[in-house]
Chain A
Amino acid sequence: MIEDFASKNSHYGRVNYHIDPAAFRKDFRSLDDVSLKETFLKQDDPRTPTFNKVIKDLNLLNPNLLRIISKTAFCWSKGDFSRVIIPIMTSEECKITIEEKVLTPKNFRVYWINTFKMHAIFNGDGTYEDKIFLVGSVPLDYRYDKKKWPINLSRRSSPLARYIF
């Protein structure tokens, strides 16, 4: 799915994976508190079966719900991971920039973001509505050689290794 388009030079790409919006919304509503900027999702949380399936299907590491507060912007730090994002609540005014490219993600679609390039996300919605994305990491090696995937993350020093499935 991701490897269909991911390459060293891609900025972003749409992942060919279908999300059921109703089931996704149901999972989101089942969580008690997502008021933080980042809410980490527990592995196999019984309240979120759809999230669990997506995370497992896409082999996402360190999955979390990201809240992008109105009129704020930030960037993800660089590391050994690129990102997969799935907007749950977004609008045309919330965009992701990767170098000179601009992505306007749509609700319940899956995107791969090459976070090895300079990137940022901003919520320019004048209605003061926060945006919510499900975000997960995919390791560097995933971009280059799908035969290596899934790699043995326990050998890596990254603290994200504990999220291996």
Chain B
Amino acid sequence: MYFREVDYQIDEKAFQEEVTYILSHRFIPRDWLQISLQTINEDGKPEDDWDVTIGRLSKHDHKEPDVRYLLWDTPAINEMISRFGFYRCRLVKSPPKTSLTWHYDLSDRFHVPLVTNLGCNMVIEDQCFHLPAFKLFWTNTKRMHTSYNVSSEWRTHILGCVTPAFSSLYDSSLP
């Protein structure tokens, strides 16, 4: 099993309001695809660091676990991140009719879909699955994987890295 739902109640209304709050800032471009929810600087400010860790990690000087400081005043999202020790968390948008490349990551990921449709799927190795909205999922992204959106709407979700300890709770392939 390459994905598992995490037993965690997400406050749907609070998440929606907090994402709206993030997007209300004028320094976020209208064509954003990723927004950092955490930063590498303890005193980082959203206007400076909103794009601090987006894109390929090889473009950055820092490592994934370095991106651990909360960036936004979003209590519900921050509570989830802090409770599980997630790092390098981002708000991500996927355009309709697109796919990511077939790749693997250095760590497993969590996902919280916010806006999703049938046709927004993740594929890990030989398994394809849909993640419903406002649920927290662990995904085994150290395996080859991708995600695609064949719906006609944008998909929006929160994702980030999980610690090996968190992964060990869900990864049945580990001893």
Q: Which residues of A contact B (CB under 8 A)?
A: 71-75, 92-93, 95, 97, 99-102, 118, 120, 122-126
In addition to A120-B119, A120-B150, 18 A-B residue pairs with Cβ atoms within 8 Å of each other are A71-B98, A71-B100, A72-B99, A73-B98, A73-B148, A74-B97, A75-B150, A92-B102, A95-B123, A99-B128, A100-B127, A118-B118, A120-B121, A120-B148, A122-B123, A124-B101, A125-B101, A126-B103
Is B79's beta carbon under 8 Å from chain A?
no
Is B146's beta carbon under 8 Å from chain A?
yes
Q: State the interface size on chain B (CB cutoff 8 A).
A: 20
Q: Which residues of B contact A (CB under 8 A)?
A: 97-103, 118-119, 121, 123, 125-129, 146, 148-150
Are B128 and A102 in contact (CB-based, < 8 A)?
yes
Are B102 and A73 in contact (CB-based, < 8 A)?
no
Are B119 and A75 in contact (CB-based, < 8 A)?
yes
For the complex, give the distance between the alpha carbons of A101 and B150 in Å: 16
- Chain A residues lying within 8 Å of B100, measured Cβ to Cβ, are 71, 124
For the complex, give the distance between the alpha carbons of A92 and B123 in Å: 13
**What are 27 A-B interface contacts by the 8 Å CB criterion?**
A71-B99, A71-B101, A72-B97, A72-B99, A73-B149, A75-B119, A75-B150, A93-B101, A99-B128, A100-B127, A100-B128, A100-B129, A102-B123, A102-B125, A102-B127, A102-B128, A118-B118, A120-B148, A122-B123, A122-B148, A122-B150, A124-B99, A124-B100, A124-B102, A124-B146, A125-B102, A126-B101
Are A72 and B102 in contact (CB-based, < 8 A)?
no
Q: Which 9 pairs show the lowest CB-CB distances between chains A and B?
A: A73-B148, A124-B102, A122-B99, A93-B102, A97-B128, A126-B101, A73-B99, A122-B148, A124-B146
- Chain A residues lying within 8 Å of B121, measured Cβ to Cβ, are 97, 120
- Chain A residues lying within 8 Å of B127, measured Cβ to Cβ, are 100, 102
Chain A residue at smallest Cβ distance from B118: A118
For the complex, give the distance between the alpha carbons of A93 and B125 in Å: 11
- Chain B residues lying within 8 Å of A101, measured Cβ to Cβ, are 126, 128
